[in-house]
Chains A and B, each alone.
Chain A
């Protein structure tokens, strides 16, 4: 066949053009319709929780009667249960929440609710446990990290974070929340806590149960994640020591420089390098002192104190502890 015969005829061209036009109309229609998605999901008026209490279903709680079958929440539905506090859990590493309500047998008005949060790791569980710790709470020995308040028990156990909250602070309910927490520990077994870094803080003057793990954006600096903080009361003021393990010394040093830059960008003024703390950076910001350094794989420092001498003294203790720590 000659090349001229390879050319399509007029009719073929017309049909091809019509087909292309139809395809173009379809594409335009799809493009236009994509803006008509339903962002609201009208059907979702009530909680979208799953049914079932998961591990709580098999919990043996003498003296308590379940008020419901229990509910299960995932990352997409956690806020259906705890609203704005969901972000705290999601940032730390949340996987699932099982919740179930129980009443004292024969007394439906005296009730408690068990919340079992399954977190991604023991570190994540410790983070949500420590960042919500109630002042004046009474430590418990059910697990390594546990305490009770007048109407509730809170504990971290491996990658679990458990809350048992009663509707009132009556003696019967106080006993019931404690029994429920113990029943959980017995059923699940006591697991190791994650907070080994917490033991690196100098014990001298450390306020008991004050170590908190900040999962995300510590001190307002985006990306400053997984930072342990501890409180040291010094007369009328408090000093805060902090430390964060990084992948290696170079990363820790870069993190320290990044935090110092953040302070300076926000109005801080750098002071001369303090004696006995080579490489440390001392910054005055809003009338308080911040001392930042890296030691091996650790970013560390002391912040928020008006007393420079106390800041430096605590920093020296912290640095000495970190220099003895396993890299």
Chain B
């Protein structure tokens, strides 16, 4: 006797009836599965738009330019640095729409050096508008609550007072992006909304010690364009910074080392973590800018692994000779 189907309990009709029921069950499961199938995949709480790719914001004819200004005041240092590079009009033309990517990561006061200094924001907004920019947007996706970060860092009030539009991140501002050949940035949410219509992108970053990457300057600043659970990238912090360098080609990158957060970064906390380093570095090669800036933290470029990765990826050069300006 078959252990599976005792013949005395099943004839042909019974078998066909059971097979029919099994078939109906399968069909019902199929219909249910088809109705429940999510062809788009999990979306979380927000709507996800189509994939986007950041364009290059580089200004033609301005490649591989770097200026290093020695001075203890941000506003004259920024002006002098831009002058050395050909003036703001070399980067911003009438009608341009400019985005300033600041570092507003933390809800901490300007004096602690963990965020972009509002003086720098004010002056850059003014310069862009004076050069004829149609619109200047100031944005970031902070680590802490965005509204608190922009207010307590002083960046929000400074930007608005100078005539810029401050754009805080919202769910609909993010769209997925993938870096061609990237290992980490795949289908990742990018803070793209504030960059719509923008044709010039300027990074404004403080010079900071960083517990994981040793330094946080202009390239690490692009981390604030990422959304999602980006903290998983801390496991490969150098890799993600190098990929961010490939993802974002700015019009200009500015490293504020007038006062640098030399210890206990990236948050700092004590005023004793800040050191006057009296230097502002700006240029179109973000690797070169960062390579000079890490010197303010007492590091050589070789001690900062993401720089080597960025050079290998063709993002920029370590050894560009800067145009030096001494403000006395």
**Chain A, range 56-97, C-beta contacts under 8 Å to B:** 79-88
Q: Mark the stretch among A165-173, A244-252, A296-304 that contacts chain B.
A: A165-173
Docked complex: B205-255 residues within 8 A CB-CB of A: 210-213, 216, 227-229, 231-232, 234, 237
Contact with B along A1-44 (1 / 0, CB 8 A): 10001111101100100010010000000000000111111111
B156 CB, min distance to chain A CBs, angstroms: 14
Chain B interface category by residue count: 35 or more
9-residue interface stretch from A132-140, A257-265, A317-325: A132-140
Q: How far is the CA of A19 from the CA of B144 in the complex (A)?
A: 53
CB pair A45 B169 closer than 8 Å: yes
A163 at interface by CB-CB < 8 Å: yes
Tell me the residues in window 267-323 of chain B with beta carbons closer than 8 Å to chain A beta carbons.
267, 269-273
* Residue pair A15, B19 in contact (C-beta under 8 Å): yes
- Cβ–Cβ < 8 Å partners of A8 in chain B: 2, 4-5
Cross-chain contact B43 with A42 (CB below 8 angstroms): yes
Within B146-160, which residues are at the interface with A (CB < 8 Å)?
A: 146, 152
Closest residue to B46 on the A side, CB-wise? A42
* Contact A165-B266, Cβ < 8 Å, known A80-B231, A83-B105: no
A43 lies within 8 A of B45 (CB): yes
Chain B binding surface SS class:
loop
CB distance from A91 to the nearest CB of B (A): 10
- Cross-interface CB contact of A40 among B15, B211, B228, B263, cutoff 8 Å: B228
Chain B stretch 15-59: residues in CB contact (< 8 A) with chain A: 15-16, 19, 22, 26, 41-46, 48
Q: How many A-B residue pairs have CB under 8 A?
A: 149
B1 touches A6 (CB 8 A): yes
- Chain B: minimal CB distance from A102 (Å): 13
B132 at interface by CB-CB < 8 Å: no
For residue B199, CB closer than 8 A to chain A, the reply is: no
* Residue total for A at the interface (Cβ-Cβ under 8 A): 50
List the one stretch of A149-157, A229-237, A307-315 in contact with chain B: A149-157
- Cα A8 to Cα B109 with chains together (Å): 80
Contact of B229 with A44 in the complex, beta carbons under 8 Å: yes
Instruction: Tell me the smallest distance from the CB of A46 to a CB of chain B, in Å.
Output: 6
Q: Tell me whether A83 and B266 are in contact in the complex, defined as CB-CB below 8 angstroms, given that A1-B2, A12-B15 are known contacts.
A: yes
Contact B270 A134 (CB under 8 A): yes
Asked whether A47 is an interface residue with its Cβ less than 8 Å from the other chain, the reply is yes
Contact A45 B174 (CB under 8 A): yes
In whole Å, how far is A34's beta carbon from the nearest beta carbon of chain B? Answer: 12
A-B contact pairs, 29 of them (CB 8 A): A1-B2, A5-B2, A6-B1, A12-B5, A19-B22, A38-B41, A40-B227, A41-B44, A42-B44, A42-B171, A44-B44, A44-B228, A44-B229, A45-B46, A45-B171, A45-B174, A46-B145, A79-B231, A79-B234, A81-B143, A81-B144, A82-B143, A84-B216, A88-B211, A132-B264, A134-B272, A149-B270, A149-B272, A151-B111
In the A-B complex, the 8 residue pairs with the smallest Cβ-Cβ separation, listed nearest first, are A40-B228, A43-B45, A42-B44, A38-B42, A43-B44, A79-B231, A167-B109, A149-B270
New A-B contacts (10) at CB < 8 Å, excluding given A79-B143, A152-B270, A167-B109: A11-B15, A43-B45, A46-B145, A81-B143, A83-B266, A84-B216, A85-B266, A132-B264, A134-B264, A169-B271
